[in-house]
Structure 1
């Protein structure tokens, strides 16, 4: 990467909250918009949005991006890192971790820090969000997913409209239609158009839309996976609005399917969470990150990978005592973070290295994200700012998208939300 261009981008490309927090930093932490624009510049490319459930996942993902010369997104979801988190990494400290690691490791690729799945499930959540969202940006977040997909379509849209005033105009913005439930409650083209048109009428232009397109969070138990044709259909209908796709539940989908998502849809962001957690711990996974299970349904721990055998046994005992099985193992992150960090250096290094190897493989050989870092710099230098030009303009009439008309339009949508339950990341 050209040093002169890097320093120019560093001078103008960091958002004001990042500059305020880290005035002397050499870490190019940018808006999520910058990362999206870099993928679009390359074409048929998406980058990993790595869920940093532990410190060593963050370390490995950043080193992989540097190796691939790829623009990167680091993220944490509300369930993982919100007020009731199950991880030590959270909305309010993740940017500090990222900035520190980037300076320590001389990471020069641009990185966005994304608040994923900021969930709105009831009216009380809207009240809390009006205070909480600003605090997250004060703590250095540069991108956010407002996820009210658990609600009916009209309430989902209205939540996005009502909360937009608390999100900086320069920040990356993701909206979501269809709660991630695997083959149940699949999103439709009409639902996606309803959401994007309604936001457009209010001058809101999301960078990404996430769908329930057939995949699931956590450990995959079905071969259903991402429905590429459905994704293509929905994305094609959104072309006039300049919205990219955000692919959730990437862990557990094979490389060929993920290559198709990058090549055939308008996806620029692919979330990976559970795979990185398992790989860092030393759990055996297949070549696309899904944990392999023994005949009795237990995880297979590789003897020379991840945490020490002694710590793994302690984690297993804790899980047994607390009734944690399968995907519930994610709740081991918080109680064991400090014990993980107190392991010998060679153990910590192999944990981070395993994540680095996996993430690099995705970036360079599956997602087509290699060498997108210079494209992100180009986007910053072309704009001469941390703010990116909108990818669309308002084409919808606000008078046709009042609250009353939103509710009327939503009543005519063919929508299946699928079964109720806890489908959080």
Structure 2
């Protein structure tokens, strides 16, 4: 059945696609937009969050796009540096994700706006920063429309200075996320002072992020407990940042209950919720609970649901491969790259049920948990009102640049009392 394109959609398609997207896909009917557009739609509805789905495989991307179309809400498809950078553990990456999304939008007749987000673009040292100045432009040339600069591994002053240094490589029209505090569960929790320091310093230099991500008590990957996101802490920090008009990006959503996610939507300024591990497990056909946390049997093994996801034969091969590598449950994410082509080589009905399972989970989350239903017209309205792919910044100058020179940033950081938590590799 041919897609039905409204007059407003056609108008948004003409003016709302960034120049990089128009160059890549000159004849496309996919409304690929800046992450700013998606954020604005959630704000317009109020107490609404859209899903930022980590497209670790083709089936996740396909299923989430179908869910977004059903829910009539804009969506973010993303991949993190560890998942899709130069040392990726997924076949989907920073440089092919937009092409996959564009092809699927045209095939499926998707008419909701879609942003292509580079998540957790990590900068840990000067070498990373130098490489980023070369690499980030190539990612936008390949169709990225939004980025999260993650220098949260660094001390507060170096985090801010890295964000300032990298900003010239990011198009002004692009969605921008920044981060304070590594995702370490209940250790090294972010504070109001740390978050304000980062946002105030950026504001003083004319940079107005759309989102800030916090270490607010969550983890990446499979949740071992239901301790989860600290909503009160999140609300307190968001309230302190209200004058700067920056919204929240919630990382590590997998494994948190629907009730807690609804509370985040109602009590905080969050407009973006990252979902990665849950969607991967669901596409594979594993048993998950209400909020996407994979369930284990009495022997501590994942439970494959018969007739769901990939074939039982392929799952047995997956498990055998993981065991041959000595991989634990948290390492199963590394199976994405070696098995993507084997998954794509399954019969049509298997591929379709993999995507459908993702669709059903994502649709329920968008409509019943995150309050994102029917926000696509709000995103399109924002594009039409701006008459451009660039809807502009939300924030405006508050801080004085003279108070936030590089030297003063270093001195100011010394006054912040913070606990960064344990050292270690917390990438995902």
Q: Which of 197, 201, 216 is the matching residue for 1:198?
A: 201
Instruction: Tell me how far apart the structure 2 counterparts of residues 2 and 38 of structure 1 sit (CA, whole Å).
Output: 19
Query: Does 2:216 correspond to 1:217?
Result: no
Residue 331 of structure 1, CA deviation = 0.1
Structure 2, unaligned runs of 5 or more: none
Residue 62 of structure 1, CA deviation = 0.1
Instruction: Tell me how far apart the structure 1 counterparts of residues 316 and 328 of structure 2 sit (CA, whole Å).
Output: 14
The TM-score, its normalising length taken from structure 1, stands at 0.99
Residue 209 of structure 1, CA deviation = 0.1
**What aligned pairs does 1:97-136 form with structure 2 within 5 A after superposition?**
97-136=100-139
**What aligned pairs does 1:324-335 form with structure 2 within 5 A after superposition?**
324-335=327-338
CA deviation string 1:10-65 (max 9, x = no partner):
00000000000001000000000000000000000000000000001100000000
Q: Which of 338, 344, 349 is the matching residue for 2:347?
A: 344
CA deviation string 1:280-336 (max 9, x = no partner):
001110010001111222111111111111110111111011111111000000000
Which shifted more, 399-408 or 102-111? 399-408
2:184 alignment partner in structure 1? 181
Runs (4 or more) in structure 1 with deviation over 3 Å come to none
Which shifted more, 99-108 or 414-423? 414-423
Q: Is the 8 A contact 2:173 2:392 kept in 1?
A: no
Query: Does 2:97 correspond to 1:94?
Result: yes
User: Helix, strand or coil: the match of 1:84?
Assistant: coil
Query: Does 2:138 correspond to 1:139?
Result: no
Residue 388 of structure 1, CA deviation = 1.0
Which shifted more, 269-278 or 221-230? 221-230
Q: Is the 8 A contact 2:37 2:379 kept in 1?
A: yes
Query: Does 2:419 correspond to 1:416?
Result: yes
Instruction: Tell me how far apart the structure 2 counterparts of residues 120 and 132 of structure 1 sit (CA, whole Å).
Output: 12
**What aligned pairs does 1:306-321 form with structure 2 within 5 A after superposition?**
306-321=309-324
Residue 389 of structure 1, CA deviation = 2.4
User: Helix, strand or coil: the match of 2:271?
Assistant: strand
Instruction: Tell me how far apart the structure 2 counterparts of residues 273 and 2 of structure 1 sit (CA, whole Å).
Output: 31
1:399 alignment partner in structure 2? 402
Instruction: Tell me how far apart the structure 2 counterparts of residues 50 and 272 of structure 1 sit (CA, whole Å).
Output: 5
Query: Does 2:6 correspond to 1:13?
Result: no
Residue 167 of structure 1, CA deviation = 0.2
2:295 alignment partner in structure 1? 292
User: Helix, strand or coil: the match of 1:418?
Assistant: coil
User: Helix, strand or coil: the match of 1:146?
Assistant: strand
User: Helix, strand or coil: the match of 1:369?
Assistant: coil
CA deviation string 1:372-398 (max 9, x = no partner):
000000000010100012111111111
Instruction: Tell me how far apart the structure 2 counterparts of residues 124 and 57 of structure 1 sit (CA, whole Å).
Output: 33
2:171 alignment partner in structure 1? 168
Instruction: Tell me how far apart the structure 1 counterparts of residues 380 and 20 of structure 2 sit (CA, whole Å).
Output: 19
User: Helix, strand or coil: the match of 1:58?
Assistant: helix
Residue 2 of structure 1, CA deviation = 6.8
The TM-score, its normalising length taken from structure 2, stands at 0.98
Query: Does 2:252 correspond to 1:252?
Result: no
Instruction: Tell me how far apart the structure 2 counterparts of residues 41 and 327 of structure 1 sit (CA, whole Å).
Output: 38
Which shifted more, 306-315 or 86-95? 306-315
Which shifted more, 390-399 or 264-273? 390-399
Structure 1, unaligned runs of 5 or more: none
Instruction: Tell me how far apart the structure 1 counterparts of residues 226 and 58 of structure 2 sit (CA, whole Å).
Output: 31
1:50 alignment partner in structure 2? 53
Instruction: Tell me how far apart the structure 1 counterparts of residues 86 and 158 of structure 2 sit (CA, whole Å).
Output: 23
1:31 alignment partner in structure 2? 34
2:84 alignment partner in structure 1? 81
